[in-house]
Amino acid sequence: MSSSSLGIINDACTSFDNNGQGKLLPRKKNDKYSSTYVQHNRLSRYTTALANCVPVRFKKIPGSQIPLDKIGLLSSVSFSWINEYIKVGYKNGLRDKPLPSISTQESCQVNGSRIDTLWHNHVVERGQAGASVPRIAWHFVKTRVLVSSFIYFLGMLIALTSPIIVLQKIIRATEDRVNMTSTLDKNTTTSINSTSANNTFRNISKNFKHEIIMDQVIIFSHIGILISAEIVSYFLIAWSASLNLRTATRLRSACLTLAYKKLIKSSIRFNAPVHQV
């Protein structure tokens, strides 16, 4: 190979390294996110994730992307936003409504630049021989995995402890009501035979009836608490699954971007087509 050809290849590699993701993944001018990832430890990087915790959003924002960042938490966890596409697909076969594109937060532009920066810093720290792709992948998804694991653990804890605590109180209240009812029946039989104890029996029966009503209120309130706890536990488990799906999508986009970037860089460096690398 001539020296001029080597110079052209070296210039191309240098240009690719300097421009990075911008040459590989062109972006629109009106795009919200920059292709350059800036690593920082400020809490502002969780602003978008915290904005997705809004329970309900009544204003519908139009767009051609999957509306995961534009809908409320309840709609995101229950996947109710898919109903629109299911109805249209059932009626017209999605002829008039095309499928949406991937959300910006799960795109290669955002996640590819981030994992590329993490990989570069990891190689600088440990060297090319000591670099570990699983370690970088874990660092990439660590926060989201820990948060989703905590949410899942909380949901399972509520699902396991609520029947143990609430059912025990329901059983005790039911037993107390049965004992009071049997005692009231015995006192009724005694009062029929003894007319002198009618006034005392009336006062006792009023107290018993009041306690029976209170026991019924306790039973029904604890049943409502038990149902609410089950709903909350199922919601937390579904929320954890939704977070894990988005985390897996982001990791997939980041790994594909990094792999394609390495392939294109290798094809330029060794003067070979991409499909032969």
Domain-wise residue ranges, the chain: 3-276
Residue 213 pLDDT more than 90? no
Angle at 254 between CA 249 and CA 258, to 5 degrees: 150
At residue 156's C-alpha, the angle toward residues 143 and 137, to 5°, is 25
Q: Among all chains, which residue has been given the structure tokens 């920066």? A: 117
Beta bridge partner(s), residue 101? 65
What values do phi and psi take at 110, rounded to 5?
Answer: -80, -50
Residue 195 has pLDDT above 60, yes or no: no
Which among 89-93, 109-113, 124-128, 150-154 has the top mean pLDDT? 150-154
Rounded average pLDDT over 155-177 = 86
Q: How confident is the model at residue 246 (pLDDT cuts 50, 70, 90)?
A: very high
Q: What is the pTM of this model?
A: 0.70
Count other C-beta atoms under 10 Å from residue 213's C-beta. 11
User: What is the C-alpha R_g of the chain?
Assistant: 32
Instruction: Note the pLDDT of residue 101.
Output: 82
Determine the pLDDT at residue 153.
97
Instruction: Please give the distance of CA 170 from its chain centroid, rounded to a whole number.
Output: 33
Residue 189: pLDDT band with limits 50, 70, 90: low
Per the model's pLDDT, the better-predicted residue between 189 and 22 turns out to be 189
Paired tokens of 271: 């003067």
pLDDT exceeds 50 at position 205: yes
Helix (H, G, I), strand (E, B), or coil: what is residue 65? strand
